Amino acid sequence: MLKPGSRIGILGGGQLGRMLAMSAARLGFDVHIFTPEDNSPAARVAAATIVAPYEDLSAVARFAAGVDVITYEFENVPVETAQAAAENAPLRPGVKALEVCQDRVAEKSFVNVAGLETTLWRAVTTEDEAEAAIVALGVPAILKTCRLGYDGKGQQVIREASAARGAFAALGGVPCILEAFAPFEREVSVVAARGVDGAVAAYPLVENHHEGGILRTTIAPAPGADALADEALRIATGVLAGLDYVGVLAVELFAMGDGRLLVNEIAPRVHNTGHWTMDACAFSQFEQHIRAVAGWPLGDPSPHSAARMENLIGADALRWQELASEPGACVHLYGKGEAREGRKMGHVNRLSPLP
Amino acid sequence: MLKPGSRIGILGGGQLGRMLAMSAARLGFDVHIFTPEDNSPAARVAAATIVAPYEDLSAVARFAAGVDVITYEFENVPVETAQAAAENAPLRPGVKALEVCQDRVAEKSFVNVAGLETTLWRAVTTEDEAEAAIVALGVPAILKTCRLGYDGKGQQVIREASAARGAFAALGGVPCILEAFAPFEREVSVVAARGVDGAVAAYPLVENHHEGGILRTTIAPAPGADALADEALRIATGVLAGLDYVGVLAVELFAMGDGRLLVNEIAPRVHNTGHWTMDACAFSQFEQHIRAVAGWPLGDPSPHSAARMENLIGADALRWQELASEPGACVHLYGKGEAREGRKMGHVNRLSPLP
């Protein structure tokens, strides 16, 4: 167990790093941030910050040597960066989670090997493979780049088999995955943690609504999902154990009409669909992650309230006066300057008694 | 209403400043700290810090000129410091609250003039006055220095009239107040806020237990105190309005057997007996204070849970492993180095459903 006063290093300076930093401070830790960005959201609540590119491995090593444990706040930290950090301090979660989750084919393979179900998929590295895959999986299907896609970027919906070659070319001819369309009832997710001792704690399953590929709303707990709780825990535990994971991660799931849950995506970090825990649980996902990486026992993930989380995206943040004046609206703003389109600027949690 | 991204200056770098800073960051504000202390608890979660003595009024002016609003985290900020700040940015709460609350005689006079009841008291500036006061009020009584007492320091209990002169001398012959002993049933407090618009919001009355003059435990809400809620709100409103106050303050009260509440002390700041709100309310006292000084509407002070707050004083903090491992214990540590005797190192909130 890491002693209070110890230094926790975070790779990444965005809003997730900011909220992690505040939870770490609450437990008496000092936070050091490594980020390529000047005046980042996380740096403004941290004890120390190094601003350097992720590719500057000597800066990374220096950063790591100055802290007691390192974690990351986003899944596209380069693996080489993570490795350079891990040579100088314990890295939690480890490099494997990045390697698996940075590549959609590696991720889907991992999930299936762990005995968990996904929608049908095919790796696609040529136009011929794109055509063969669409024939195998049928339409509609979604072609996604294997790497660096987020919030709906790097994707093409294919509605006719003849469009497969063009879609692959439109995505730049880079390695892709074709995923069969899953006729899901709703999108849900489970946010869960694994401690250094292997203990697992999962928050209740939540229901998520996206617009334009970006999360808009999370309803927690997911209504009428009690019967899915055991399966969600089984999936989370399988993913966490398979990655030998320490910390919080999210598994995005498709809830099918027949009661099955298909794994859509793993995020090896605290997650937007867990932001409701900040106000509705005694132990937020951010504290839970810090507890795990610090080698502390996990907190109780039970909520004391139900919550509805609304993301503030781009111009939504200009509504701050209205939100500040709304009774019961727990407002979170990330300290980002410009409310650019599609940029996550903050979120609002609205609590209600548990059903 | 202060726009997110604005800078909030805090005079004082202790744990209250630290928790205020984190609540300000949550709302998207940048926090600047002014403190005489190197590496203070608050500085380690703030965007910027000036380290200088409070007496360095040009540093204070420079600090104030760099922020959009200023507040303070403790009541012994010198009035001259507060005035120098107030000349360069809005100071909330204002100088008056400091002037009144830094002097026990001024404070008790203010309270009585506001039509609120205290125990009987006399100002004492000479040994003769000490003797006359003890004759008037009887024994036991408590002689306190007017200024700079806290956590039981600067006090003498007088059990025999003959001890009055000696007690006054033992306190250094400085201006004192003699307070009649109040045969109270229990000590309670009300933490309340007043907005820029004059709106008042009070958290429920809580019950406090002290040891050696230092708060050990707060039970929130105070059991069986529903009948006292209106009177507590009346008192809080009277104090807040009388001080033309903006922000959170605490009124420590003696609950008498006949149902009366006597004002014991006013703390013109967020208060240790409000720390339970961090985990048991959607809007903590720290967010409430920031909302008030930023000119935002106050948050709903209703708790969603009951709580028992335990202070971690001195060596208590060495129990961190046990506390970290206790299911349901919400641990808060202030990032202070040495666990000196009597030093407030952190606190723990334990939640339960509301009664």
Per-residue pLDDT of chain B (355 residues; tens, 9 = 90+): 999 999 999 999 999 999 999 999 999 999 999 999 999 999 999 999 999 999 999 999 999 999 999 999 999 999 999 999 999 999 999 999 999 999 999 999 999 999 999 999 999 999 999 999 999 999 999 999 999 866 667 899 999 999 999 999 999 999 999 999 999 999 999 999 999 999 999 999 999 999 988 999 999 999 999 999 999 999 999 999 999 999 999 999 999 999 999 999 999 999 999 999 999 999 999 999 999 999 999 999 999 999 999 999 999 999 999 999 999 999 999 999 888 999 999 999 999 999 8
User: How far away is chain B from the Cα of A209, in angstroms, using its nearest Cα?
Assistant: 24
pLDDT at B148: 80
CA distance A65 to A58: 10
CA distance B281 to A300: 18
**Identity (one letter) of the amino acid at A223?**
P
Q: Is A351 on the interface with B (CB under 8 A)?
A: yes
For domain B186-352, the CATH architecture is 2-Layer Sandwich (3.30)
Domain positions in chain A are: 7-91, 120-180, 186-352
Question: What residues of chain B lie within 8 A of the CB of A299, using their CB?
Answer: 327
pLDDT at A213: 85
- Structural element, H or E, at residue A218: strand A214-220
Question: What residues of chain A lie within 8 A of the CB of B305, using their CB?
Answer: 304
Phi-psi region of A276 (alpha: psi -120 to 50; beta: other; left: phi over 0): alpha
| End-to-end CA, chain B | 36
Are B7-91 and B120-180 equal in CATH topology? no
Contact across the interface for A297 and B324, Cβ inside 8 Å? yes
Q: Which of A127, A126, A128, A124 is nearest to A143 (CA)?
A: A124
pLDDT at B337: 86
Question: What residues of chain A lie within 8 A of the CB of B296, using their CB?
Answer: 324-325
**Nearest CB partner across the interface for B351, out of A3, A26, A304:** A304
Contact across the interface for B28 and A297, Cβ inside 8 Å? no
Each of the 355 residues of chain A gets a pLDDT tens digit; together they read 999 999 999 999 999 999 999 999 999 999 999 999 999 999 999 999 999 999 999 999 999 999 999 999 999 999 999 999 999 999 999 999 999 999 999 999 999 999 999 999 999 999 999 999 999 999 999 999 999 866 667 899 999 999 999 999 999 999 999 999 999 999 999 999 999 999 999 999 999 999 988 999 999 999 999 999 999 999 999 999 999 999 999 999 999 999 999 999 999 999 999 999 999 999 999 999 999 999 999 999 999 999 999 999 999 999 999 999 999 999 999 999 888 999 999 999 999 999 8
What is B148-185 written as a DSSP string? S--TT-SEEEE-SGGGHHHHHHHTTS--EEEEE----S
Q: Under a CB-based contact definition with an 8 Å cutoff, are residues A250 and A262 in contact? A: no
Three-state SS sequence of A88-145: CCCECCCHHHHHHHCCHHHHHHHHHHCCCCECCEEEECCHHHHHHHHHHHCCCEEEEE
Question: What residues of chain A lie within 8 A of the CB of B44, using their CB?
Answer: 25, 30, 46-47
Contact across the interface for B5 and A337, Cβ inside 8 Å? yes
Local structure of residue B212 (DSSP, 8 states):
T
User: How far away is chain B from the Cα of A37, in angstroms, using its nearest Cα?
Assistant: 15
Please classify residue B234 by burial: count the beta carbons closer than 10 Å to its beta carbon, then call 0-12 exposed, 13-18 middle and 19+ buried: middle
Token pair of A262, please?
């298909």
Is the peptide bond preceding residue B221 cis, with omega within 30 degrees of 0?
Answer: yes
Taking CA atoms, B69 is separated from A153, B11, B66, B114, B294, in Å, by 41, 11, 9, 28, 7
Which positions 21-80 of B are in contact with A (Cβ < 8 Å)? 21-22, 25-30, 44-47
Which residues in chain B belong to E strands, given as ranges?
Answer: 7-11, 30-35, 48-51, 69-72, 121-124, 141-145, 155-158, 176-180, 186-194, 200-202, 206-211, 214-220, 247-255, 261-267, 306-313, 329-333, 344-352
Q: Please, which residues bridge with residue B261 across strands?
A: B255
**Identity (one letter) of the amino acid at A172?**
G
CA distance B333 to B349: 12
Question: What residues of chain A lie within 8 A of the CB of B291, using their CB?
Answer: 324
User: How far away is chain A from the Cα of B346, in angstroms, using its nearest Cα?
Assistant: 9
**Identity (one letter) of the amino acid at B325?**
S
Q: Please, which residues bridge with residue A193 across strands?
A: A201, A248
User: How far away is chain B from the Cα of A346, in angstroms, using its nearest Cα?
Assistant: 9
CA distance A264 to A121: 11
pLDDT at A148: 80
Q: Is A14 on the interface with B (CB under 8 A)?
A: no
Q: Quick: pLDDT tens for B312-352.
A: 999 999 999 999 999 999 999 999 988 899 999 999 999 99
**Nearest CB partner across the interface for B25, out of A22, A296, A337:** A22
What CATH number does the domain located at A7-91 have?
Answer: 3.40.50.20
Contact across the interface for B4 and A305, Cβ inside 8 Å? no
Q: Which of B173, B351, B344, B341 is nearest to B271 (CA)?
A: B344
CA distance A200 to B342: 38
Q: Under a CB-based contact definition with an 8 Å cutoff, are residues B121 and B146 in contact? A: no
User: How far away is chain A from the Cα of B338, in angstroms, using its nearest Cα?
Assistant: 10
Contact across the interface for A328 and B279, Cβ inside 8 Å? no
Contact across the interface for B324 and A296, Cβ inside 8 Å? yes
Q: Is B123 on the interface with A (CB under 8 A)?
A: no
**Nearest CB partner across the interface for B5, out of A27, A279, A335:** A335
User: How far away is chain A from the Cα of B335, in angstroms, using its nearest Cα?
Assistant: 5
Q: What share of chain A is helix, strand, coil (3-state, %, to 5)?
A: 30, 30, 40
What CATH number does the domain located at B120-180 have?
Answer: 3.30.1490.20
The sign of the CA dihedral A166, A167, A171, A177 is: negative
The chain B residue lying nearest A352, using CA atoms, is: B304
Backbone angles phi, psi at B317, to 5 degrees: -65, -20
User: How far away is chain A from the Cα of B27, in angstroms, using its nearest Cα?
Assistant: 5
Q: Under a CB-based contact definition with an 8 Å cutoff, are residues A125 and A177 in contact? A: no
pLDDT at B120: 97
ipTM: 0.95
Question: What residues of chain A lie within 8 A of the CB of B26, using their CB?
Answer: 22, 331-333
Question: What residues of chain A lie within 8 A of the CB of B330, using their CB?
Answer: 282-283
